[in-house]
Amino acid sequence: MRALLRQALELLQFPLLLQSGWLSPWPFHTNSNVVQTSSDGLERQQAPSFDGDVGKSNIVTPVYLAIHLTYKCPASCSHCCFSSGPDVNDTIDVSTASRAIDEASLIKSIKMVGFTGGEPLLYPRELRVLISQAKEYGFQTRIVTSAAWAKNKRKANQILSSLKEAGLDEISLSYDDAHAEFISEESIVNCVRSAVDNGIPIALNVCVDESTEISGQSLRALFLNESIDISAVYIQETLINTTGRAREIDLDRTSDPRRLVGPCDHVLRGPTVNPFGRILPCCGTIPFYQGLQIGDMRNSTVVESISAAFEDPIINWIAFEGPAAIVECASKNTSNPQMAKDFDSNCEACAALFSRPEVLDNARRIAQQDKKKSLATQRLIYQLAGTYRAPEISSSIDEE
Ligand code: SF4
Ligand code: SF4
């Protein structure tokens, strides 16, 4: 009872805590670098799905499981956060991917399973089997692809109709200046046309910066010119995340007003199993830092790992206030202090947090001491507001 009273008192102080900056204002705006405003006159269609759309979930709870089937890819885009390419051979063991889907079915809030890479369609047979399995559990299914395989209309149609038959619900396609070095415009047109013909909603993601030629607007014009019905095509522009290979690009976006740095709206909502069997708490744009790993399929389960991540103070801190705020706080007394304004995206800040052992140690200590009460209070407030829910687990697969 005393604890409840104390918690209620803390709640009453909420506005004061906000004013003092002790609490973050609200951890639920998008930070996924989606360009929010557009001067290109682009019509924004509704995104294909909401249930499993991590960036659109206003609740910190797992809704989407991503499986990175492979980091192998026919392309080697300059901005690739996974540094994928034809010579990369890291590919998940199909039985591990299958077990991840079985285990995700026990987490009631997960609505969608997405297969991504690298290029997941390098393994079409395995992809079909996994999509069918996910569908049997009632998940929505998505592939994230570059369309490198859609070299002609017949092939594109054959592949997509076969995936649709297996249970594919939607496609997320990427195309921009960096992709165009490796993927032909014709492949993109074939993929989009074939998705529309097969009734598969398709979202097209276009990475832009101030010097890029390909834009949402130019692709829209291309599809109209090809007489494609674009009412079922959702086109979205995003900014480049300077992680992975993109770190080699000389790009300073820190003064770009569109840059979004703040609470991470992917962490704890969209966990990932990567080709090494590592479990990450988010879409895994920085897959190679051990500190962000929440589990390993070799010795833990998806359920255990995600449940444990909800108890991890650093992961919660990333969800509530974002990695840039953490780095600013934890690097203050080091030889290289970094301010939140130094980062051009949340994932870049996360890479700094997890690649600097001293900063990570400081952050862990602060989260357990000075910041402990603030994090607990934020969690309580968001729980009471219904915007933070630890995963609810079914006791058996049969219960689903
Ligand atoms: S951005 Fe996509 S298409 Fe390009 S190399 Fe990376 S995984 Fe392949
Ligand atoms: S790398 Fe960090 S900021 Fe990026 S999605 Fe994952 S948790 Fe969020």
Question: Is 215 part of any domain?
Answer: yes
Residue in the structure block whose two tokens are 């009734």? 199
Residue 201 scores a pLDDT above 50? yes
Q: Where are the beta strands (DSSP E) in the chain?
A: 64-70, 112-117, 140-145, 170-174, 202-208, 233-239, 272-273, 278-280, 295-296
What pLDDT is attached to residue 230? 87
Q: Which of 300, 329, 359 is the last residue of a domain?
A: 300
Q: Is 73 in the pocket of ligand 1 (CB under 6 A)?
A: yes
> What's the structural domain count of the chain?
2
- The pair of structure tokens assigned to 398 is 């049969």
Tell which residue, 111, 119, 166, has the closest CA to residue 139.
Answer: 111
Residue 55 alpha carbon to ligand 2 centre in Å: 12
Q: Has residue 145 got a pLDDT over 50? A: yes
Ligand 2: which residues within 6 Å by Cβ?
264, 266-267, 282-283, 285-286, 318, 323, 346-347, 350
| Domain match, 281 and 318 both | no
Q: Does 247 lie in the same domain as 317?
A: no
Same domain, yes or no, for 12 and 133? no
Domain of 114: which CATH number? 3.20.20.70
> What is the model's pLDDT at position 344?
83
Q: Looking at 22-36, 338-352, 357-371, which range is the least confident one?
A: 22-36
Co-location of 216 and 330 in the same domain: no
What's the confidence (pLDDT) of residue 302? 98
Residues 293 and 318 in one domain: no
Q: Residue 84: CB within 6 Å of ligand 1? A: yes
Residue that is last in its domain, among 281, 300, 319: 300
User: Is it the case that residue 357 has pLDDT exceeding 50?
Assistant: yes
Q: Is residue 244 part of a domain?
A: yes
Is 305 within a domain? no
Residue 221 in any domain: the answer is yes
Q: Quick check: 215 pLDDT over 50?
A: yes
| 157 in the same domain as 250 | yes
**pTM, 2 dp:** 0.86
Biggest alpha carbon–alpha carbon distance for the chain: 69
Give mean pLDDT, residues 387-393.
95
Asked if residue 368 and residue 223 are part of one domain, the reply reads no
Q: Residue 284 C-alpha to ligand 1 middle, in angstroms?
A: 14
DSSP symbols for 47-96 = PS-STT-GGG--SBS--EEEEEEESB-S---TT-TT--BTT---B--HHH
Q: What pairing do the DSSP bridges indicate for beta strands 140-145 and 112-117?
A: parallel
CA atoms within 13 A on the CB side of 166: 22
pLDDT tens digit sequence for 265-279:
899 999 999 999 999
320, 290: one domain: no
Report the mean per-residue pLDDT for the chain: 86
Helix 323-330 to helix 346-355 angle, to the nearest 10 degrees?
40
Assigned domain for 40 exists: no
Q: State the average pLDDT over residues 104-130.
A: 97
Confidence of residue 254 (pLDDT cuts 50, 70, 90): low
Of 290, 297, 291, 356, give the one whose Cα is nearest residue 317. Answer: 291
Range of the domain at 79: 54-300
Whether 42 is in a domain gets the answer no
Burial class (CB in 10 A: 0-12, 13-18, 19+), 301: middle
Is residue 180 in contact with ligand 1, taking CB distance under 6 Å?
Answer: no
Question: Both 197 and 153 in a single domain?
Answer: yes
> At residue 322, what is the residue type?
G
